[in-house]
Amino acid sequence: MKISNPLVPIIAIIILISLTLSLSGCWDRREPDVLGFITMAAFDIKPDSGLFRVIVQVANPLGEEGGQQEGGGGGGKKPPFWVVEATGHTIYEAIKNLEVLSSRKLVWTHNEAVLFSEELSRKGIRRVLDFLDREREPRPTARPFVVQGDVRRLLEADFPLEETGATAVSKQLFSIRLERSVLPDVESLRILFHHLAAPGLELILPRIAVLEQEGKDREKSGRINPARISGAAVFRGDRLVGFLDDRETSGYLWLKGDVSRATLVLKCPGSEEELLTVEVFESDAKLEPKIEGDRVRFKASIRAESSIQEFACRDLPLEEEFINSLNRRMAIVIRNEIAMSLEKARELEADVFGLGNIIYRTRPRDWKRLEEKWEEIFPAVMVDIEVEAVIRRYGLVLEPIKIR
Protein backbone atom coordinates (compact mmCIF):
# COMPACT_ATOMS: atom_id res chain seq x y z
CA MET A 1 0.00 0.00 0.00
CA LYS A 2 1.49 3.35 -1.01
CA ILE A 3 0.94 6.52 0.89
CA SER A 4 -0.39 8.95 -1.70
CA ASN A 5 -1.46 11.93 0.32
CA PRO A 6 1.50 14.24 1.10
CA LEU A 7 -0.28 15.37 4.26
CA VAL A 8 -0.03 11.93 5.84
CA PRO A 9 3.62 12.20 7.03
CA ILE A 10 2.93 15.65 8.45
CA ILE A 11 -0.13 14.43 10.31
CA ALA A 12 1.84 11.47 11.61
CA ILE A 13 4.55 13.78 12.93
CA ILE A 14 1.98 15.98 14.63
CA ILE A 15 0.43 12.93 16.30
CA LEU A 16 3.84 11.69 17.44
CA ILE A 17 4.75 15.05 18.93
CA SER A 18 1.41 15.39 20.66
CA LEU A 19 1.95 11.95 22.18
CA THR A 20 4.84 13.32 24.20
CA LEU A 21 2.31 15.47 26.04
CA SER A 22 0.96 12.34 27.65
CA LEU A 23 4.39 11.62 29.12
CA SER A 24 4.00 14.49 31.53
CA GLY A 25 1.62 12.37 33.57
CA CYS A 26 -1.99 11.61 33.97
CA TRP A 27 -4.85 12.55 36.21
CA ASP A 28 -3.93 9.94 38.72
CA ARG A 29 -0.30 10.86 39.08
CA ARG A 30 0.79 10.78 42.70
CA GLU A 31 4.33 11.60 43.66
CA PRO A 32 5.64 9.71 46.69
CA ASP A 33 6.50 12.94 48.47
CA VAL A 34 2.85 13.79 48.97
CA LEU A 35 1.92 10.32 50.16
CA GLY A 36 2.03 8.82 53.61
CA PHE A 37 2.16 5.05 53.51
CA ILE A 38 0.09 3.32 56.13
CA THR A 39 1.94 0.24 57.32
CA MET A 40 -0.43 -1.00 59.98
CA ALA A 41 -4.00 -0.09 60.89
CA ALA A 42 -5.99 -0.75 64.01
CA PHE A 43 -9.75 -0.57 64.37
CA ASP A 44 -11.47 0.08 67.65
CA ILE A 45 -14.83 1.24 68.92
CA LYS A 46 -15.47 3.83 71.58
CA PRO A 47 -17.51 2.18 74.31
CA ASP A 48 -19.37 5.35 75.37
CA SER A 49 -20.27 6.93 72.02
CA GLY A 50 -20.17 3.86 69.78
CA LEU A 51 -18.01 5.75 67.27
CA PHE A 52 -15.43 3.84 65.27
CA ARG A 53 -11.85 4.66 66.05
CA VAL A 54 -9.19 4.14 63.40
CA ILE A 55 -5.56 4.25 64.41
CA VAL A 56 -2.89 4.01 61.75
CA GLN A 57 0.83 3.71 61.75
CA VAL A 58 2.35 5.73 58.92
CA ALA A 59 5.90 5.14 57.68
CA ASN A 60 7.91 8.27 58.25
CA PRO A 61 10.51 8.94 55.56
CA LEU A 62 12.15 11.59 57.75
CA GLY A 63 12.67 9.02 60.46
CA GLU A 64 15.94 7.94 61.89
CA GLU A 65 17.79 5.44 59.75
CA GLY A 66 18.59 2.14 61.35
CA GLY A 67 22.27 1.59 62.16
CA GLN A 68 23.28 5.25 61.94
CA GLN A 69 25.66 6.60 64.52
CA GLU A 70 24.15 8.90 67.06
CA GLY A 71 25.03 12.51 67.69
CA GLY A 72 24.13 13.80 64.22
CA GLY A 73 21.90 16.84 64.64
CA GLY A 74 21.07 18.16 68.03
CA GLY A 75 17.30 18.58 67.78
CA GLY A 76 16.28 14.99 68.51
CA LYS A 77 15.52 12.52 65.76
CA LYS A 78 12.13 11.63 64.51
CA PRO A 79 11.02 8.05 64.96
CA PRO A 80 10.65 6.00 61.74
CA PHE A 81 6.88 5.96 62.00
CA TRP A 82 4.04 8.12 63.11
CA VAL A 83 0.78 7.11 64.77
CA VAL A 84 -2.42 9.03 64.26
CA GLU A 85 -6.04 8.30 65.05
CA ALA A 86 -9.49 9.61 64.25
CA THR A 87 -13.09 8.67 64.92
CA GLY A 88 -16.21 8.52 62.81
CA HIS A 89 -19.69 7.05 62.56
CA THR A 90 -18.50 4.72 59.85
CA ILE A 91 -15.06 3.35 59.16
CA TYR A 92 -14.71 5.33 55.95
CA GLU A 93 -15.69 8.56 57.66
CA ALA A 94 -13.11 7.92 60.35
CA ILE A 95 -10.47 7.28 57.72
CA LYS A 96 -11.32 10.48 55.90
CA ASN A 97 -11.13 12.28 59.21
CA LEU A 98 -7.53 11.13 59.40
CA GLU A 99 -6.72 13.23 56.35
CA VAL A 100 -7.41 16.41 58.30
CA LEU A 101 -4.72 15.46 60.76
CA SER A 102 -2.09 14.41 58.24
CA SER A 103 0.15 16.55 56.05
CA ARG A 104 0.32 13.78 53.47
CA LYS A 105 -2.38 11.83 51.68
CA LEU A 106 -2.65 8.50 53.42
CA VAL A 107 -2.53 5.46 51.16
CA TRP A 108 -3.42 1.92 52.15
CA THR A 109 -1.61 0.00 49.44
CA HIS A 110 1.28 -0.98 51.71
CA ASN A 111 -0.76 -1.87 54.73
CA GLU A 112 0.71 -5.07 56.15
CA ALA A 113 -1.36 -5.78 59.22
CA VAL A 114 -4.93 -5.14 60.32
CA LEU A 115 -5.59 -5.13 64.05
CA PHE A 116 -9.01 -5.47 65.63
CA SER A 117 -9.36 -4.41 69.23
CA GLU A 118 -11.03 -6.79 71.62
CA GLU A 119 -14.02 -4.46 72.23
CA LEU A 120 -14.67 -4.02 68.53
CA SER A 121 -14.34 -7.75 67.91
CA ARG A 122 -16.89 -8.47 70.61
CA LYS A 123 -19.32 -6.02 68.94
CA GLY A 124 -18.66 -7.49 65.48
CA ILE A 125 -16.09 -6.79 62.77
CA ARG A 126 -18.47 -6.90 59.81
CA ARG A 127 -18.58 -3.16 59.26
CA VAL A 128 -14.81 -2.85 59.27
CA LEU A 129 -14.41 -5.70 56.81
CA ASP A 130 -16.55 -4.14 54.14
CA PHE A 131 -14.19 -1.19 53.83
CA LEU A 132 -11.20 -3.53 53.50
CA ASP A 133 -13.01 -5.59 50.88
CA ARG A 134 -14.48 -2.77 48.81
CA GLU A 135 -11.76 -0.16 48.72
CA ARG A 136 -9.20 -0.51 45.97
CA GLU A 137 -6.15 0.37 48.05
CA PRO A 138 -5.96 -2.12 50.94
CA ARG A 139 -4.74 -5.50 49.81
CA PRO A 140 -6.31 -8.79 50.90
CA THR A 141 -2.80 -10.04 51.68
CA ALA A 142 -2.69 -7.99 54.90
CA ARG A 143 -2.51 -10.06 58.08
CA PRO A 144 -5.41 -9.81 60.52
CA PHE A 145 -5.02 -9.97 64.31
CA VAL A 146 -7.13 -9.52 67.40
CA VAL A 147 -5.38 -7.40 69.99
CA GLN A 148 -5.82 -7.92 73.71
CA GLY A 149 -4.83 -4.76 75.50
CA ASP A 150 -4.34 -1.17 74.40
CA VAL A 151 -4.08 -1.09 70.60
CA ARG A 152 -2.71 2.40 70.44
CA ARG A 153 0.12 1.41 72.75
CA LEU A 154 1.01 -1.45 70.43
CA LEU A 155 1.12 0.83 67.41
CA GLU A 156 3.31 3.33 69.21
CA ALA A 157 5.57 0.68 70.69
CA ASP A 158 9.18 0.33 69.72
CA PHE A 159 10.17 -3.15 68.60
CA PRO A 160 13.77 -3.94 69.48
CA LEU A 161 14.66 -5.60 66.18
CA GLU A 162 12.54 -3.77 63.63
CA GLU A 163 12.02 -0.24 62.36
CA THR A 164 8.24 -0.29 62.33
CA GLY A 165 5.67 -2.24 64.25
CA ALA A 166 4.03 -3.45 61.05
CA THR A 167 7.11 -5.28 59.83
CA ALA A 168 7.72 -6.58 63.32
CA VAL A 169 4.24 -8.00 63.76
CA SER A 170 4.14 -9.52 60.32
CA LYS A 171 7.61 -11.07 60.61
CA GLN A 172 6.80 -12.36 64.06
CA LEU A 173 3.66 -14.07 62.78
CA PHE A 174 5.60 -15.58 59.90
CA SER A 175 8.36 -16.98 62.06
CA ILE A 176 6.04 -18.21 64.79
CA ARG A 177 3.97 -20.04 62.21
CA LEU A 178 7.16 -21.76 61.06
CA GLU A 179 8.63 -22.53 64.46
CA ARG A 180 5.70 -23.17 66.75
CA SER A 181 2.15 -24.34 66.53
CA VAL A 182 0.43 -21.68 68.56
CA LEU A 183 -1.20 -19.56 65.86
CA PRO A 184 -4.21 -20.41 63.70
CA ASP A 185 -3.90 -20.68 59.96
CA VAL A 186 -5.85 -17.54 59.04
CA GLU A 187 -2.92 -15.52 57.79
CA SER A 188 -4.50 -13.04 55.43
CA LEU A 189 -7.70 -11.08 54.94
CA ARG A 190 -8.37 -13.30 51.92
CA ILE A 191 -8.72 -16.36 54.16
CA LEU A 192 -10.67 -14.34 56.71
CA PHE A 193 -13.26 -13.31 54.11
CA HIS A 194 -13.56 -16.87 52.90
CA HIS A 195 -13.97 -18.35 56.38
CA LEU A 196 -16.70 -15.89 57.25
CA ALA A 197 -18.73 -16.93 54.23
CA ALA A 198 -18.05 -20.66 54.24
CA PRO A 199 -20.87 -22.82 55.63
CA GLY A 200 -20.23 -24.76 58.84
CA LEU A 201 -17.06 -22.95 59.74
CA GLU A 202 -16.41 -20.26 62.33
CA LEU A 203 -13.65 -17.70 62.13
CA ILE A 204 -10.50 -17.93 64.19
CA LEU A 205 -7.79 -15.25 64.20
CA PRO A 206 -4.29 -14.91 65.65
CA ARG A 207 -4.13 -13.07 68.95
CA ILE A 208 -1.67 -10.40 70.03
CA ALA A 209 -1.22 -9.61 73.69
CA VAL A 210 0.28 -6.17 74.31
CA LEU A 211 3.12 -6.24 76.81
CA GLU A 212 4.03 -3.25 78.93
CA GLN A 213 7.32 -1.57 78.12
CA GLU A 214 8.89 0.40 80.91
CA GLY A 215 10.02 3.77 79.66
CA LYS A 216 10.61 4.85 76.10
CA ASP A 217 14.35 4.36 76.16
CA ARG A 218 15.42 3.14 72.74
CA GLU A 219 18.99 2.56 73.82
CA LYS A 220 18.24 -0.03 76.42
CA SER A 221 19.20 -3.47 75.21
CA GLY A 222 17.05 -5.29 77.73
CA ARG A 223 13.79 -3.77 76.60
CA ILE A 224 10.77 -5.91 76.01
CA ASN A 225 9.30 -6.82 72.64
CA PRO A 226 5.90 -5.18 73.05
CA ALA A 227 3.85 -7.93 71.42
CA ARG A 228 3.36 -11.53 72.37
CA ILE A 229 1.72 -13.27 69.45
CA SER A 230 0.22 -16.60 70.37
CA GLY A 231 -3.14 -18.17 70.87
CA ALA A 232 -6.31 -17.54 68.95
CA ALA A 233 -9.45 -15.45 69.04
CA VAL A 234 -12.61 -17.41 68.36
CA PHE A 235 -15.55 -15.81 66.59
CA ARG A 236 -19.15 -16.79 66.15
CA GLY A 237 -20.31 -15.09 63.01
CA ASP A 238 -18.40 -11.83 63.09
CA ARG A 239 -18.39 -11.50 66.88
CA LEU A 240 -15.58 -12.49 69.18
CA VAL A 241 -16.72 -15.01 71.79
CA GLY A 242 -13.52 -16.15 73.43
CA PHE A 243 -9.87 -17.04 73.19
CA LEU A 244 -7.87 -20.25 72.83
CA ASP A 245 -4.62 -20.43 74.76
CA ASP A 246 -1.42 -21.80 73.24
CA ARG A 247 -2.10 -25.47 73.89
CA GLU A 248 -5.71 -25.22 72.77
CA THR A 249 -4.56 -23.55 69.57
CA SER A 250 -2.14 -26.43 69.12
CA GLY A 251 -5.00 -28.84 69.48
CA TYR A 252 -6.92 -26.88 66.84
CA LEU A 253 -3.97 -27.13 64.46
CA TRP A 254 -3.59 -30.88 65.05
CA LEU A 255 -7.17 -31.43 63.97
CA LYS A 256 -6.64 -29.19 60.95
CA GLY A 257 -3.48 -31.11 60.04
CA ASP A 258 -1.66 -27.80 59.86
CA VAL A 259 1.11 -28.22 62.44
CA SER A 260 4.43 -27.30 60.91
CA ARG A 261 6.51 -27.53 64.09
CA ALA A 262 5.30 -28.43 67.55
CA THR A 263 7.41 -28.77 70.64
CA LEU A 264 6.25 -31.48 73.03
CA VAL A 265 7.72 -32.06 76.46
CA LEU A 266 7.43 -35.65 77.67
CA LYS A 267 8.35 -37.40 80.87
CA CYS A 268 11.19 -39.85 80.62
CA PRO A 269 9.93 -43.43 80.85
CA GLY A 270 10.53 -44.82 84.30
CA SER A 271 11.14 -41.45 85.87
CA GLU A 272 8.70 -38.85 87.12
CA GLU A 273 11.06 -35.88 87.35
CA GLU A 274 13.17 -36.04 84.23
CA LEU A 275 11.91 -34.63 80.98
CA LEU A 276 12.78 -34.91 77.33
CA THR A 277 11.69 -32.83 74.34
CA VAL A 278 10.55 -33.95 70.93
CA GLU A 279 9.68 -31.74 68.01
CA VAL A 280 7.05 -32.63 65.45
CA PHE A 281 8.10 -31.67 61.96
CA GLU A 282 5.30 -33.15 59.91
CA SER A 283 1.68 -33.81 60.62
CA ASP A 284 -1.43 -34.70 58.81
CA ALA A 285 -5.06 -35.14 59.84
CA LYS A 286 -8.04 -36.91 58.38
CA LEU A 287 -11.57 -36.32 59.61
CA GLU A 288 -14.39 -38.60 58.63
CA PRO A 289 -17.99 -37.94 59.64
CA LYS A 290 -20.40 -40.65 60.64
CA ILE A 291 -23.96 -39.43 60.60
CA GLU A 292 -26.97 -41.19 62.04
CA GLY A 293 -30.01 -38.96 62.02
CA ASP A 294 -29.09 -35.87 64.02
CA ARG A 295 -26.25 -37.62 65.81
CA VAL A 296 -22.88 -36.81 64.34
CA ARG A 297 -19.60 -38.51 65.19
CA PHE A 298 -16.23 -37.80 63.70
CA LYS A 299 -13.32 -40.12 63.37
CA ALA A 300 -10.10 -38.14 63.47
CA SER A 301 -6.89 -39.85 62.41
CA ILE A 302 -3.82 -37.79 63.16
CA ARG A 303 -0.34 -38.68 62.08
CA ALA A 304 2.71 -36.91 63.46
CA GLU A 305 6.39 -37.39 62.68
CA SER A 306 8.96 -36.00 65.01
CA SER A 307 12.56 -36.04 66.10
CA ILE A 308 14.15 -36.00 69.55
CA GLN A 309 15.51 -32.57 70.27
CA GLU A 310 16.58 -32.91 73.85
CA PHE A 311 17.20 -36.18 75.63
CA ALA A 312 18.75 -36.07 79.05
CA CYS A 313 17.20 -39.11 80.63
CA ARG A 314 19.68 -41.09 82.66
CA ASP A 315 20.46 -44.73 81.91
CA LEU A 316 18.04 -45.19 79.07
CA PRO A 317 19.32 -46.80 75.91
CA LEU A 318 17.80 -45.72 72.60
CA GLU A 319 16.06 -48.97 71.83
CA GLU A 320 13.00 -49.94 69.94
CA GLU A 321 11.00 -50.57 73.06
CA PHE A 322 11.92 -47.23 74.53
CA ILE A 323 11.06 -45.39 71.32
CA ASN A 324 7.72 -47.16 71.20
CA SER A 325 6.91 -46.02 74.69
CA LEU A 326 7.87 -42.47 73.72
CA ASN A 327 5.61 -42.70 70.69
CA ARG A 328 2.72 -43.68 72.95
CA ARG A 329 3.43 -40.79 75.30
CA MET A 330 3.57 -38.40 72.42
CA ALA A 331 0.24 -39.63 71.12
CA ILE A 332 -1.30 -39.04 74.54
CA VAL A 333 0.00 -35.47 74.70
CA ILE A 334 -1.35 -34.73 71.25
CA ARG A 335 -4.69 -36.32 72.07
CA ASN A 336 -4.93 -34.21 75.23
CA GLU A 337 -4.29 -31.02 73.31
CA ILE A 338 -6.98 -31.89 70.81
CA ALA A 339 -9.43 -32.77 73.57
CA MET A 340 -8.72 -29.45 75.27
CA SER A 341 -9.41 -27.45 72.14
CA LEU A 342 -12.56 -29.42 71.36
CA GLU A 343 -13.78 -28.83 74.89
CA LYS A 344 -13.18 -25.10 74.56
CA ALA A 345 -14.88 -24.91 71.18
CA ARG A 346 -17.91 -26.74 72.55
CA GLU A 347 -18.02 -24.35 75.46
CA LEU A 348 -17.91 -21.35 73.10
CA GLU A 349 -20.34 -23.10 70.72
CA ALA A 350 -18.11 -22.15 67.82
CA ASP A 351 -17.23 -24.71 65.19
CA VAL A 352 -13.77 -23.33 64.43
CA PHE A 353 -12.58 -26.70 63.14
CA GLY A 354 -15.04 -26.57 60.29
CA LEU A 355 -16.59 -29.91 61.18
CA GLY A 356 -19.83 -28.69 59.62
CA ASN A 357 -17.85 -27.63 56.56
CA ILE A 358 -16.50 -31.17 56.19
CA ILE A 359 -20.07 -32.49 56.20
CA TYR A 360 -21.04 -29.80 53.70
CA ARG A 361 -18.18 -30.74 51.40
CA THR A 362 -18.26 -34.51 51.63
CA ARG A 363 -21.89 -35.27 52.57
CA PRO A 364 -23.89 -32.42 50.99
CA ARG A 365 -27.19 -34.31 51.30
CA ASP A 366 -26.85 -34.65 55.06
CA TRP A 367 -25.75 -31.03 55.33
CA LYS A 368 -28.96 -29.81 53.73
CA ARG A 369 -30.78 -31.45 56.60
CA LEU A 370 -28.34 -30.47 59.37
CA GLU A 371 -27.49 -26.92 58.29
CA GLU A 372 -30.34 -25.24 60.15
CA LYS A 373 -29.65 -27.07 63.41
CA TRP A 374 -25.86 -27.14 63.22
CA GLU A 375 -25.37 -24.65 66.05
CA GLU A 376 -27.27 -26.94 68.39
CA ILE A 377 -25.71 -30.14 67.06
CA PHE A 378 -22.10 -29.00 67.18
CA PRO A 379 -21.58 -28.98 70.98
CA ALA A 380 -22.81 -32.60 71.07
CA VAL A 381 -20.59 -33.83 68.26
CA MET A 382 -18.25 -36.58 69.44
CA VAL A 383 -14.79 -36.88 67.98
CA ASP A 384 -12.94 -40.17 68.22
CA ILE A 385 -9.28 -39.29 68.16
CA GLU A 386 -6.72 -41.70 66.84
CA VAL A 387 -3.14 -40.50 66.96
CA GLU A 388 -0.24 -42.19 65.28
CA ALA A 389 2.91 -40.48 66.49
CA VAL A 390 6.34 -41.66 65.47
CA ILE A 391 9.82 -40.52 66.29
CA ARG A 392 11.84 -40.68 63.11
CA ARG A 393 15.28 -39.38 64.07
CA TYR A 394 17.25 -38.04 66.99
CA GLY A 395 19.82 -35.50 65.95
CA LEU A 396 23.59 -35.78 65.77
CA VAL A 397 24.26 -38.03 68.74
CA LEU A 398 22.63 -41.19 70.03
CA GLU A 399 22.79 -41.42 73.80
CA PRO A 400 23.19 -38.35 76.02
CA ILE A 401 26.53 -37.33 77.49
CA LYS A 402 27.89 -39.90 79.93
CA ILE A 403 29.16 -38.25 83.12
CA ARG A 404 31.28 -40.51 85.26
Partner 1 sequence: MFREKIVNRQLFFFLFMQRTTIVISFLPALTSGRALQDAWISGLLAFFSSAVIIFVVGRLAVAFPGKSIIQYSQELLGSIPGKLLPLFYLFLFLYMTATDIRLYAEVLKTGFLPETPIVVIMGIMMLTAVIVVYAGLEPLGRCADIIFPVFLLMILGSLLFPLPQADFRNLQPVLYGGWSPVLVGAITPTVISAQYTNMAMLVPSVQEPQKSLGAALWSILFGSLVLALFAALAVSVLGPDEGARAAFPVFKMIKSIRVSEFLERIEPLVIFAWGLGLFITNSVNLYSGSRGLSQLLGLKDNRPLLLPMAVIAVTFAIQKYRDYFELKQFFEPETCAPVIFFIIFFPMIILWGAYLLRRPGNRNRR
Q: How far is the CB of 27 from partner 1 (least distance, A)?
A: 4
3-state SS of the chain?
Answer: CCCCCCHHHHHHHHHHHHHHHHHHCCCCCCCHHHEEEEEEEEEEECCCCCCEEEEEEEECCCCCCCCCCCCCCCCCCCCCEEEEEEEECCHHHHHHHHHHHCCCEEECCCCCEEEEEHHHHHHCCHHHHHHHHHCCCCCCCCEEEEEECCHHHHHHCCCCCCCCHHHHHHHHHHHHHHHCCCCCCCCCHHHHHHHHHCCCCCCEEEEEEECCCCCCCCCCCCCCCCEEEEEEEEEECCEEEEEECHHHHHHHHHHHCCCCCEEEEEECCCCCCCEEEEEEEEEEEEEEEEEECCEEEEEEEEEEEEEEEEECCCCCCCCHHHHHHHHHHHHHHHHHHHHHHHHHHHHHCCCCCCHHHHHHHHCHHHHHHHHHHHHHHHHHCEEEEEEEEEEEECCCCCCCCCCC
Residues 121/235, Cβ–Cβ less than 8 Å = yes
Q: How far is the CB of 55 from partner 1 (least distance, A)?
A: 25
Residue number with CB closer to partner 1 (135 or 217): 135
Q: How far is the CB of 362 from partner 1 (least distance, A)?
A: 7
31 binds partner 1 (CB under 8 A): no
Q: How far is the CB of 28 from partner 1 (least distance, A)?
A: 5
Q: Which of 159, 252, 360, 374 binds partner 1 (CB under 8 A)?
A: 360
Report 146-175 residues binding partner 1 (CB under 8 A).
174
Residue number with CB closer to partner 1 (258 or 305): 258
Q: How far is the CB of 350 from partner 1 (least distance, A)?
A: 19
Q: Which of 73, 272, 364, 402 binds partner 1 (CB under 8 A)?
A: 364
76 binds partner 1 (CB under 8 A): no
Total binding residues toward partner 1, as defined by CB under 8 A? 22
Q: Which of 188, 260, 263, 325 binds partner 1 (CB under 8 A)?
A: 188
Scanning 61-69, 185-193, 205-213, 245-253 for contacts with partner 1 by CB under 8 A, the matching segment is 185-193
Residues 296/370, Cβ–Cβ less than 8 Å = yes
Q: Which of 126, 286, 362, 380 binds partner 1 (CB under 8 A)?
A: 362
Q: Which of 16, 28, 48, 103 binds partner 1 (CB under 8 A)?
A: 28
Site string for partner 1, 97-136 (x = CB under 8 A): ---------------------------------------x
Q: How far is the CB of 289 from partner 1 (least distance, A)?
A: 13
Q: Which residues of 202-236 are buried (b: 16+ CB within 10 A; e: fewer)?
A: bbbbbbbebeebeeeeeeeeebebbbbbbbbbbbb
Scanning 53-61, 117-125, 250-258, 361-369 for contacts with partner 1 by CB under 8 A, the matching segment is 361-369
139 binds partner 1 (CB under 8 A): yes
Scanning 56-64, 188-196, 220-228, 328-336 for contacts with partner 1 by CB under 8 A, the matching segment is 188-196
Q: How far is the CB of 364 from partner 1 (least distance, A)?
A: 4
Q: How far is the CB of 58 from partner 1 (least distance, A)?
A: 20
27 binds partner 1 (CB under 8 A): yes
62 binds partner 1 (CB under 8 A): no
Q: Which of 77, 122, 153, 190 binds partner 1 (CB under 8 A)?
A: 190
CA of 82: how far to CAs of 41, 138, 163, 218, in Å?
Answer: 12, 19, 12, 16
Residue number with CB closer to partner 1 (77 or 363): 363
Q: How far is the CB of 171 from partner 1 (least distance, A)?
A: 9
Separation between Cα atoms, residue 245 and residue 234, nearest integer Å? 11
Provide the binding-site residues for partner 1, judged by CB under 8 A. Answer: 1, 26-28, 136, 139-141, 174, 188-190, 193-195, 197-198, 360-362, 364, 367
